[in-house]
Amino acid sequence: MEEKKKTNKKFILIFGVLIVLGLTYGIYKYVHSLAHEGTDDAQIEKNMNPIIPRVTGYVTKVYVKDNDYVKKGDTLFTIDDKDYVVKLADAEAALVAAQGNLAVSKADVGSAQANVSVSEANVQSAGGNIETAKIRLKLASNDFERYNNLYKNHSITKQQFEQAEAAKLEAQSQLKILQDQQRASNFQKSVIQAKSNVSSKQTDVAAANINRAKAALDAANLNLSYTVVTASADGQVSKIAIQTGQLVQPGQSLFYIINSSNVWVIANFKETQLNKMVIGQKATIKVDAYPDTDFEGTITSFSPATGSRFSLLPPDNATGNFVKTIQRLPVKISLDKNNDAEKMKLLRPGMNVDVDVHLK
């Protein structure tokens, strides 16, 4: 009986200790939950810069291997540039031709302007001659009237009268000739002026062609530079999915550079956990791969919609069978700069983490 009593006492003692421990743990978790929100639905994220060629061509050489570290500006691979060198030479020749056309057009404009000046001088000269001819005609007409009266009075001979009449007719004829010449000079001036205007327009067109040729030359230089593909940021390359001789196309994603300069966490919290969470709250992050190291972070933003809304086939609850499911909202947590830089380099996108947000 004594042995049985001792056993019962041990059992009661152990049971009591377990109850105390359970209560202590429960109280601790309850108190902890008042000031913390946590989730294990979270992953490490980094910028993954895709390497995309901008021109078509065959790969001539690959300078990196799988998982190499690169610096911004390092050459990753090159594309055969023979076609682009030819196009550059063609663009340079087109620019020279356009510049030559502009010089010819300017020379034509100069010649046309000189012709306009000559025609204006001819018109002015004709105008002066017409005025002189009008004066001569007036004098000849006056002489004819006097000689006509004298001839009627038989004061002069018929020969003198005919000479006065001939002088008048000659003055009239000379005036008409000069007037016809003036009209011809005006017409010639208008034609030459029109040609001058056309030459000026051709000069404008030639200048525009030069600008077009310069733009084509810049584009040719740019395309030639694109045959050397360089790293857009510091980081580590992914698996290299190209080889020498492979044809690549513009817009084709070949591989990635994982940018190591910026690290953050996307934590998918239940919608029921967001009541007390705000931007700026601190968070403790444990990475499954490195359980002995804690990382510090800060909430920087909340997603504008739940994760299910960004899925390929978002759920539509407008059917007859509705089951309420707690949704999760992605929360971005940036890792603070005071974390160990060497350990930060060990983090890889997609790694699972546990996040504990400090509400107070």
284 is a domain residue: yes
Same domain, 205 and 87: yes
The pTM of the whole model exceeds 0.95: no
Same domain, 234 and 343: no
Res. 261 pLDDT band, cuts 50 70 90: confident
211 is a domain residue: yes
Res. 40 pLDDT band, cuts 50 70 90: very high
Query: Pick from 206, 223, 240: which residue ends a domain?
Result: 223
Contact between 285 and 295 (Cβ < 8 Å): yes
User: Is residue 194 over pLDDT 70?
Assistant: no
What confidence tens digit (pLDDT) does each residue in 21-34 have? Answer: 887 777 766 665 66
Same domain, 291 and 349: yes
Same domain, 176 and 291: no
What confidence tens digit (pLDDT) does each residue in 54-102 have? Answer: 999 999 999 999 999 999 999 999 999 999 999 999 988 888 887 777 6
Query: Pick from 177, 207, 223: which residue ends a domain?
Result: 223
pLDDT of residue 6: 57
Same domain, 69 and 127: no
Q: Which domain holds residue 310?
A: 36-47+261-360
Q: Name the strand (E) or helix (H) holding 256.
A: strand 255-270
How many whole angstroms separate alpha carbon 116 and alpha carbon 126? 15
7 is a domain residue: no
pLDDT of residue 150: 67
The CA angle 298-299-305, to the nearest 5 degrees, is: 160
pLDDT of residue 188: 63
Same domain, 117 and 191: yes
Same domain, 281 and 237: no
Contact between 269 and 277 (Cβ < 8 Å): yes
Same domain, 168 and 189: yes
pLDDT of residue 311: 79
User: Is residue 130 over pLDDT 60?
Assistant: yes
Same domain, 94 and 211: yes
Res. 186 pLDDT band, cuts 50 70 90: low
89 is a domain residue: yes
In what side-by-side order are the strands of the sheet with 57-62? 228-230, 75-79, 57-62, 247-248
Same domain, 194 and 148: yes
327: which 2 tokens?
Answer: 């949704």
Higher pLDDT, 66 or 210: 66
Higher pLDDT, 120 or 359: 359
pLDDT of residue 86: 92
CB atoms within 10 A of CB 244: 11
243 is a domain residue: yes
What confidence tens digit (pLDDT) does each residue in 284-329 have? Answer: 999 999 988 999 999 999 999 988 888 777 777 666 677 778 889 9
What confidence tens digit (pLDDT) does each residue in 157-173 have? Answer: 677 766 766 777 776 77
User: Is residue 143 over pLDDT 80?
Assistant: no
Pairing between β-strand 290-302 and β-strand 328-335 as defined by DSSP bridges: antiparallel
Q: Average pLDDT over the chain, rounded to whole? A: 80
Residue that the structure tokens 């830089």 belong to? 341
Assign residue 242 the CATH number of its domain.
2.40.50.100
By mean pLDDT, which of 5-14, 106-115, 244-253 is the weakest?
Answer: 106-115
Higher pLDDT, 54 or 109: 54
64 is a domain residue: yes
Same domain, 211 and 88: yes
User: Is residue 115 over pLDDT 60?
Assistant: no
Number of folded domains that form the chain:
3
pLDDT of residue 43: 95
Mean pLDDT of 229-237: 91
162 is a domain residue: yes
Assign residue 273 the CATH number of its domain.
2.40.30.170
User: Is residue 5 over pLDDT 60?
Assistant: no
Res. 116 pLDDT band, cuts 50 70 90: low
How many whole angstroms separate alpha carbon 300 and alpha carbon 264? 10
Same domain, 141 and 110: yes
User: Is residue 248 over pLDDT 80?
Assistant: yes
Assign residue 211 the CATH number of its domain.
1.10.287.620
Largest CA distance in the chain: 193
Torsion angle, alpha carbons of 201, 206, 208, 214, to 10: -170
Q: Which residues pair with 264 in a beta bridge?
A: 45, 334
pLDDT of residue 17: 77
pLDDT of residue 13: 77
pLDDT of residue 340: 86
163 is a domain residue: yes
85: which 2 tokens?
Answer: 């060198």
